[in-house]
A and B are shown apart, each in its own frame.
Chain A
């Protein structure tokens, strides 16, 4: 009995540079356009939570969010919940899970909170052309402890 056969593919000749999702930089036009299109199609309920249409901060699933200010009196329940749960660093993925809101909605929510300096973002470690060997070694040590 032989398994089905696949054919290998090649990466495109010039490897695309990694796009670091640094929250400080402005979102690319492409992201802004996609975001706008997505919002327009979303149900109204999501629109209210995320506030005005706009560009999203380029946060990654594993961007860590940390609270940096008290909840203002104008804070929405969702903002208050984020500020409370991010007293210790928490990834955007976890915020999405605990709030039970889609990742895209959380991204817009956090874009506002970053702009208002209610929270701070810690950029993720992204894959590089030359991977950081000391990081990989640390991960191996961490896994061995499991």
Chain B
């Protein structure tokens, strides 16, 4: 890494600058197993080229490297892709595509705690991969919707069968999507927003 040459100073392209009036950012988390299409979804709706933030995981945090002895300090790098959508002159929305394994989540402080909500991306070929993350979101009180990324070779289940299998209450939306398409990914985010809005309405009435 060399920051000395002014040509190599990293940073956003001029067209990617946020306006100075931007006062606050909100975030949404897209979570799912490896290869389910998180990065594709982030990329298809983001207004900037998707970026990657990394975190280094040491054995102190998870204890999976015990077999190698204490001299081998294996550091695993975990990457998380994200994108951005400008909402108003004041507000910007960030989308994070997050690994489904819970042992990665603590790496980014407050990743789920502050998120407006989450999209759980499900691959019908490996539904059980999403079980743990759904449980964790439920325990943390993080509202989420389920988006089924349709793969041509994946089994197709009726939504009600999926709802029963995922043990989801009727109010939690389950939608099918093709994350490669911007409109389809956008519709998933709209579904999440409508769901959050309905939660806000029902809570303000109670």
Contact = CB atoms under 8 A, between A and B. Distances in A.
Interface string A63-97: 11010000000000110110011011111011011
Contact of A102 (B55, B60, B88, B128): B55
Contacts of A37: 60
A88 B19 contact: yes
Given A18-B114, A124-B24, A146-B85, A139 B18 contact: no
Interface in A1-33: 1-12, 15-16, 18-21, 31
Interface in A87-117: 87-91, 93-94, 96-104, 107
Given A6-B134, A103-B54, A126 B113 contact: yes
A43 B75 contact: yes
Given A85-B11, A138-B87, A143-B85, A127 B94 contact: no
Given A61-B94, A81-B9, A127-B115, A143 B186 contact: yes
Contacts of A90: 12, 18
Interface residues of B, number: 86
Contact of A140 (B59, B110, B117, B197): B197
Interface string B165-197: 111110000000000001000100110011011
Nearest to A141: B87
A7 B53 contact: no
Given A61-B111, A100-B1, A133 B93 contact: no
A31 B113 CA distance: 15
Interface residues of A, number: 77
Nearest to B23: A122
Given A136-B193, A140-B193, A146-B85, A124 B114 contact: yes
A102 B93 contact: no
Contacts, number: 240
Contacts of B55: 102-104
Contacts of A12: 139
Interface in B14-64: 17-20, 22-27, 45, 51-56, 58-61
Contacts of B155: 1, 3
Contacts of A99: 10
Contact of B141 (A8, A16, A104, A140): A16
Contacts of A7: 167
A121 B19 CA distance: 15
A130 interface: yes
B139 A9 contact: yes
A123 B167 contact: no
Contacts of A140: 190, 193-194, 197
Interface of A: 1-12, 15-16, 18-21, 31, 37-38, 41-43, 46, 58, 60-64, 66, 77-78, 80-81, 84-85, 87-91, 93-94, 96-104, 107, 122-127, 129-133, 135-144, 146
16 contacts: A3-B165, A4-B127, A5-B167, A6-B131, A11-B141, A19-B113, A61-B110, A62-B25, A81-B10, A85-B9, A90-B18, A102-B53, A123-B24, A125-B91, A125-B114, A140-B190
